Copies of this chain bind each other. A is one copy, B any other.
Amino acid sequence: MVKKKIVVVGGGFGGVSAVDALSANPEFEIHLVDRRNFHLFQPLLYQIAMAGLSPSDIAIPLRTLFRKKRNVHITLAEVDQLDIANNKIHYDKNWVEFDYLVLCCGAKHAYFGNEKWEEFAPGLKNLEQAIEIRRRILMAFELAEKETDPIIRSKELTFVVVGGGPTGVELAGAIAEMAKHTLANDYHNADLAKIKVMLVEAGPCILAAFPQSLSLTAQKNLKELGVEVIINTRASDLSKDGLQIGDQYVPAKTIIWAAGVLPSSLTMQIPGEKDRLGRALVLPDLSLPEFKNVFVIGDQAACKSKSGEFLPGIAPVAMQQGAFLKDVIVSDMLGRARPTFEYVDKGIMATIGRSKAVVSTKGFNFSGLPAWLAWVFIHLIYLMKFKNRLFVFLQWAWSYFTFGRGARLITHKTWRFYDGEKIKLE
């Protein structure tokens, strides 16, 4: 039996679900190529930045995930070139051939031509960024605790999150809470109560993907947490000391970028049409119009729903797409017509700090504690699939009830970072 060689690029939600589904078929020889050695549960990445969880709680080595799958081969490498016309991709200085190619390299943060802003306002897409954001937030408190000049101190206690999507909302809410409950006990300096958290959204509302009622609820919840929500306003002129928000200049030591993403750079090498976000347009079977054996899924793909809009770049879409590919390739092998991908929309959710969230599912909208519990439950279910992930929940539940922040460690840079120096730790 000649095995079909399927190369999957990217171990995110799309890639893992594709490999998981495809590996069930012994006629497939699957090669999963990723630049990192782990699958990251991105929806909880903000918990790392908030010191609520540790990296190993939400990242699982790809080899561990597919340990039992004999027909899955994992390579830690970065794909740098595509030669789709000739069924080849390039990594580790070699050209590798494939029968089928699945591209699911995800997205990165977009600074829309202001890439230098990244230094002042890191995004939240990978573990290193999450740890850097954690470091900056905790460092801001340490510096404020020592600072005698009230003007500098208020700058150190001002946190601005740019972008009112789910990540921005989660971050802003979590920072406000972290300040109120957790850190207030740890710092004797009363002014810490004077912490300022701002959420800046260029559009007319936060959580634009949600029904207006939920978007307003989220905004109300954030206000209750002490977050200043600013809509219809663009952030500009970011520097290490602050940023311009509309026509007001805000001095701020800590700025976090949660505004807009772009598909992985590799997408530019995909032949064919792109949508305005730069995602590759795919057919209803998720293949490229010109290349039936090349599929693009997840944040990299511009895939239309039945009703004709593009599907959003969220985990459920990528996971369903990944699982769907098995049916397509099996149909090919059986000489049948390919099925059409239909996204089953189970809804969307976003959490706003402890015990508050918004959920919109099948026209049914709810918020508050029930929504938060639904949010916890769904994330827990996913994590439970990873051996040993139970501890995540225990740890997490514990820090929820104790207001603890077990992972509140300042690592990987020295406290002098803001002076521009970097001391070598002994």
Contacts and interface: CB of A to CB of B under 8 A. Distances in A.
A273 interface: no
How many monomers of this protein are in the complex? 2
A411 B409 CA distance: 16
A41 to B, nearest CB: 12
Contacts of A54: 54-57, 407
A240 B391 CA distance: 38
Contacts of A61: 186, 405, 408-409
A127 interface: yes
Contact of A409 (B38, B145, B187, B423): B38
A60 B409 CA distance: 8
Contacts of A127: 409, 411
A99 interface: no
A417 to B, nearest CB: 12
A95 interface: no
A410 interface: yes
A76 B410 CA distance: 10
A233 interface: no
Contact of A402 (B56, B138, B387): B387
B146 A59 contact: no
Given A73-B188, A186-B64, A426 B55 contact: no
Interface in A359-414: 387-388, 391, 394-395, 398-399, 402, 404-412, 414
A78 B35 contact: no
Nearest to A80: B423
Interface in A38-66: 38, 54-57, 59-61, 63-64
A232 interface: no
Enumerate the 6 nearest inter-chain pairs by beta-carbon distance, A residue then B residue, closest first.
A108-B426, A56-B407, A63-B186, A54-B54, A76-B142, A54-B56
6 contacts: A75-B145, A76-B410, A77-B415, A78-B414, A78-B416, A391-B395
